[in-house]
Amino acid sequence: MFGVLGICGLLVFILARPQEYVEVLQRLPMLYLCCAGAVGGFVLDVKLRRLDAQPVPILRWVIAFLGWAVICTAVKAGEVLQQSVIELAILFVLFATVAHGVQTLRAFRVVVGTVTVVCLFLTVVCIHQGLQDRSCIVTDPEHPGEGTPDGRPCEMSVDCYGHDAEPGAEYRCEKAGLFGTYSIEDRVRYRGELHDPNELGMTVCIGAFSLLLAFANQRRRPLAVLLAAIGALAVVYCVLLSGSRGALVVLVLVVAVYGVRRFGAAALVAGGAAAVPMVALLGRSGSAADMSTQLRYEAWAAGLQMFKQSPLFGVGQRQFSEHHFLTAHNSYVLALAELGLVGLVLFVALLYLSVKTLVRGVIELEHVPGARPAQVWAMALLASFAGMIFAINTLSFAYHSVLWIFLGLAGAWVSVVRHHQPDFDVRLTGRDLILIVAGCVAFAGFVLPVFLRLKGA
């Protein structure tokens, strides 16, 4: 299918961002070209009747969420409306092309395999970074996470400001990696949207660790299992180097989801028991971690105040940092503050419907002949969503491309199942909507205020 090549290119250029460090690629607008290739390929496939143009059930909720974000921005921050519309349009194209342009199991494997390979690439780059000695890094203030090492060893940043320092340059004493990357407080990270160690750690967990388990489970050949095990261990090591406590919990959640499928609810209890000492022993700790947690609570309190001042429209998409010196560090607080209660309901509806669809798929396809591959991928995506839904409690992920890639993959999984079973359809019922609205109201009106009061924020 013609659209798959464009989709895979889009995934590579969004996640790995080679256009930022490969000079030849810098001369072309690669993201826009890949978007055009993905959309054009999809249209061509539909015209050639290789694809069905039937929309996936979640599409209407995606349109509602992104449309509401545009409305909120137009009302509250009209001066940035054009920039907001462009960003949201890219997210829509990313979701829609993945969800509708992948309708066969073979194409699904190619796209999921692309995500896995790119995330393993990120893992290798970050492991290399973590194994380096500290050196003086000339930072790039316009591009977070990027810098140039000048070759001088150091122990602290002050060591870099000697007679050999460049006048006016800002230095950090960090571990320099490939492609202009460097660590932050010795915690490995990438660049672009993944310049934060926590976001990097979560992404490789859900984009490599979980999907590698599916590849091994599907093939069940010794070589495939061995390669998957090596890749999974590399991801675990990368997460340890990132120092992300949340990513460690995501690892446990991914394994726990598979455990629940086989051993029942007892696997959740075992996973919880394993997560506590793992985070305590291997996660980041000390005064820096405590300060980070306190600043996060302050950001949540600021987000709650933004919601109270404008409960319907919020402050507008990407406007949180215009009202507070930090980002929200919580996707649910971010949606509430920027898009009001309606925006939070729509955001939760996207996640709820994706999870509901995958759960229904795992259950209903249990006894369908030949449906095992679809079940395997449903379990992998379900494990990824379980980890992501937890992790975004401390990450500003509402408009992050990784989230929209996985929403697209969940939609693509539905398209694959419909290719063989056209009557497969999962939608939000009236009861589901009541539960979502009630949960969001409780979160905004009771849970979040009480939690912040207890934390003194």
The SS3 assignment for 172 reads strand
Specify the pLDDT at position 266. 62
Amino acid code (one letter) for 159 = D
Q: How many CA atoms lie within 13 A of 28 on its CB side?
A: 13
Specify the pLDDT at position 258. 82
Alpha helix locations (H) across 195-330?
197-204, 210-219, 222-242, 245-263, 266-282, 287-309, 320-323
Specify the pLDDT at position 32. 83
Specify the pLDDT at position 323. 93
Please answer whether residues 174 and 145 qualify as being in contact, where contact means their C-beta atoms are separated by less than 8 angstroms. Answer: no
Q: Each residue's pLDDT tens digit in the chain (457 positions)?
A: 678 988 999 999 999 999 888 888 888 888 888 888 888 888 888 888 888 888 999 999 999 999 999 999 999 999 999 999 999 999 999 999 999 999 999 999 999 999 999 999 999 999 999 999 999 999 887 777 788 898 899 999 898 988 788 888 889 999 999 998 999 999 999 998 999 999 999 999 999 999 999 988 877 788 889 999 999 999 999 999 999 989 999 998 998 888 777 656 665 666 666 655 655 555 555 566 677 788 899 999 999 999 999 999 999 999 999 999 889 999 999 999 999 999 999 999 999 999 999 999 998 888 888 888 899 999 999 999 999 999 999 999 999 999 999 999 999 999 999 988 888 889 999 999 999 999 999 999 999 999 999 988 6
CA distance 26 to 20: 6
User: Which pTM does this prediction carry?
Assistant: 0.93
Question: At which residue do the structure tokens 């000048």 appear?
Answer: 150
Please answer whether residues 170 and 138 qualify as being in contact, where contact means their C-beta atoms are separated by less than 8 angstroms. Answer: yes
Please answer whether residues 239 and 204 qualify as being in contact, where contact means their C-beta atoms are separated by less than 8 angstroms. Answer: yes
Question: At which residue do the structure tokens 């949207």 appear?
Answer: 193
Please answer whether residues 307 and 340 qualify as being in contact, where contact means their C-beta atoms are separated by less than 8 angstroms. Answer: yes
Specify the pLDDT at position 31. 82
